[in-house]
Amino acid sequence: MDCGFVCVFLFVCLMACSDSVPLKPHRKKKPFIEKKKAVSFHLVHRSQRDPLAADETAPQRVLLPTQKINDEERRAEQRKYGVFFDDDYDYLQHLKEPCGPSELIPISTFSAPDRRDEKEETLVISTTGIKLPSSVFASEFEEDVGLLNKAAPISGPQLDFDPDIVAALDDDFDFDNPDNLLEDDFILQANKPTEEEGTGIRKSEAEDDSEWEDMDDEKEGGSDDDNYGSAGSSDEAMSVPGKPPGTVENHLFWEEETKSRFTEYSITSSVMRRNEQLTLHDERFEKFYEQYNDDEIGALDNAELEGSIQVDSNRLEEVLNDYYKEKAENCVKLNTLEPFEDQDLLMNELDGSEEEEVITVVLEEAKEKWDCESICSTYSNLYNHPQLIKYQPKPKQIRISSKTGMPLNVLPKKGLTAKQVERMQMINGSDLPKVSTQPRSKNESKEDRRARKQAIKEERKERRVEKKANKLAFKLEKRRQEKELLNLKKNVEGLKL
């Protein structure tokens, strides 16, 4: 079943069985397992250190007996040792008794555990006498290194690779050196009869102290075009095989010196497994280090650090010349000349020195010329989006009507109210045709003229009366409203309720 990271805990409680009692209705149910007689286990993966972990037939899960210890008892025990926490954690596991002087007891001959094939031995659990097949439990014997740890890849420097590989992994390896390149058909070459390769390895003892690169040359044989060195060494490689087999055989066992220069040194190197290549490595290093033996080091004439030297001596002159050369080089490097501030110039003291004229040259940096258009063209388009300039007329000032206090021309104009519409439809007295408005007929008799004029006069009279009445009404109304406003202002305004 594929459940990803599923953790399932199986907790198994076993008890020796006795016949079940038929239940009576009002009786208390007998518990299935009596806790005092029962044994509990956890079902866990088999330990990696268990040798049966590699065995496919053995079950990969085992029963691990649980330690049942009462919380209260544990806490009491903990308090004895000064741990006063009252949680569920077992602090006793971190307390260990100091071990007294230990006694060495020789063990009897150690016998490897028998493999349990078909016949199963039964394991008897002491307290309750429950018998279970032993394969269900973990093996008694555990290896030191678990299965997974054995399979883990080794990290760190591994010196048991071939020396040319080790050399290639080194930082100083020169990849451009044609000697160090691999042949295109190196696999074919490698598959050739192995005698060449074998002798290549043994050759080392006959050689002088060689560096790793030399080994590369010899192994790859004739490499690229114009490389006389490697051609020469490949010849050497062919000729040498004659020698080493003989030398190796003569190397008698009791002549071998087992003590090396490094026997008293680091512990780690002795712990690393020594295979053929590593032993080789060690021996070569021994050889190399022979150089530094006391008797190997040559005359120490030049190594004295004390003493005096004549001013005229060649060595001092050489030193001075080198110094001048350096200074000359430094002079060339400067772009702009600055006043030379070196106080320790020996030049002034010695004759035959170079004389320099200090000329100050002012260098003007080439200035770039900019104009508006080029500047504008440097602007990025992210921020600069040219557009046509739109004409925006000055917005009209908002005017407020004095009567209502509302802005004019903003609100939609009101239509006629219903009352107004009704009134319009009503026929007024004013709608009646007036004499003054009627056109004068051409053929008018005197009476008609007189009548018409009379009518007009009367209309005007009526109109005058109307006007007077209107005026009066308005005046009265105005007066009334003003009075009201005044009253309001005087009495109501500022009145706090």
Question: How far apart, in whole angstroms, are the C-alpha atoms of residue 94 and residue 451?
Answer: 139
The minimum distance between CB 97 and another protein, in angstroms, equals 34
The minimum distance between CB 13 and another protein, in angstroms, equals 4
Strand partners, 131: 124
Name the helix (H) or strand (E) containing 479. Answer: helix 446-487
14 touches another protein (CB under 8 A): yes
Contact of 227 with 185, CB cutoff 8 Å: no
Q: Which is nearer to another protein, 129 or 245 (CB)?
A: 129
Contact of 163 with 204, CB cutoff 8 Å: no
Tokens, residue 301: 């004439």
7 touches another protein (CB under 8 A): yes
Q: Which is nearer to another protein, 132 or 278 (CB)?
A: 132
63 touches another protein (CB under 8 A): yes
145 touches another protein (CB under 8 A): no
Contacts of 13 (CB under 8 A, 6+ apart): 33, 38, 39, 40, 41
First to last CA, the chain: 84
Q: Which is nearer to another protein, 4 or 193 (CB)?
A: 4
Q: Which of 21, 22, 28, 32 binds another protein (CB under 8 A)?
A: 32
Q: Which is nearer to another protein, 4 or 298 (CB)?
A: 4
Q: Which is nearer to another protein, 41 or 223 (CB)?
A: 41
Cα dihedral 67, 68, 69, 72, rounded to 10, equals 140
Question: How far apart, in whole angstroms, are the C-alpha atoms of residue 42 and residue 12?
Answer: 6
65 touches another protein (CB under 8 A): no
Q: Which is nearer to another protein, 117 or 306 (CB)?
A: 117
Number of residues engaging another protein in binding (CB under 8 A): 31
Q: Which of 52, 62, 167, 280 binds another protein (CB under 8 A)?
A: 62
Could you give the 3-state DSSP secondary structure of residue 378?
Answer: helix
The minimum distance between CB 87 and another protein, in angstroms, equals 16
CA quadruple 21, 27, 28, 29: dihedral sign: positive
The minimum distance between CB 24 and another protein, in angstroms, equals 19
21 touches another protein (CB under 8 A): no
The minimum distance between CB 121 and another protein, in angstroms, equals 12
Query: Residues 272-298, buried b or exposed e (16+ Cβ, 10 A)?
Result: eeeeebbebbeebeeeeeeeeeeeeee
12 touches another protein (CB under 8 A): yes
Beta strands in 24-83 (DSSP E): 39-45, 61-65
Q: Which is nearer to another protein, 31 or 106 (CB)?
A: 31
13 touches another protein (CB under 8 A): yes
Cα–Cα distances (Å) from 51 to 59, 116, 137, 146, in that order, read 12, 12, 13, 9
Residues 104-143 that bind another protein (CB under 8 A): 122, 129-133, 135-136
Q: Which is nearer to another protein, 20 or 428 (CB)?
A: 20
Tokens, residue 227: 């490389």
* Site stretch for another protein (CB under 8 A), options 5-13, 102-110, 158-166, 361-369: 5-13
The minimum distance between CB 63 and another protein, in angstroms, equals 6
417 touches another protein (CB under 8 A): no
Q: Which is nearer to another protein, 20 or 348 (CB)?
A: 20
The minimum distance between CB 1 and another protein, in angstroms, equals 6
Contact of 282 with 237, CB cutoff 8 Å: no
Tokens, residue 454: 């009379």
Q: Which is nearer to another protein, 15 or 181 (CB)?
A: 15
HSE (side-chain half, CA atoms, 13 Å) at 435:
15
Q: Which residues bind another protein (CB under 8 A)?
A: 1, 3, 6-17, 32-33, 43, 45, 59-63, 122, 129-133, 135-136
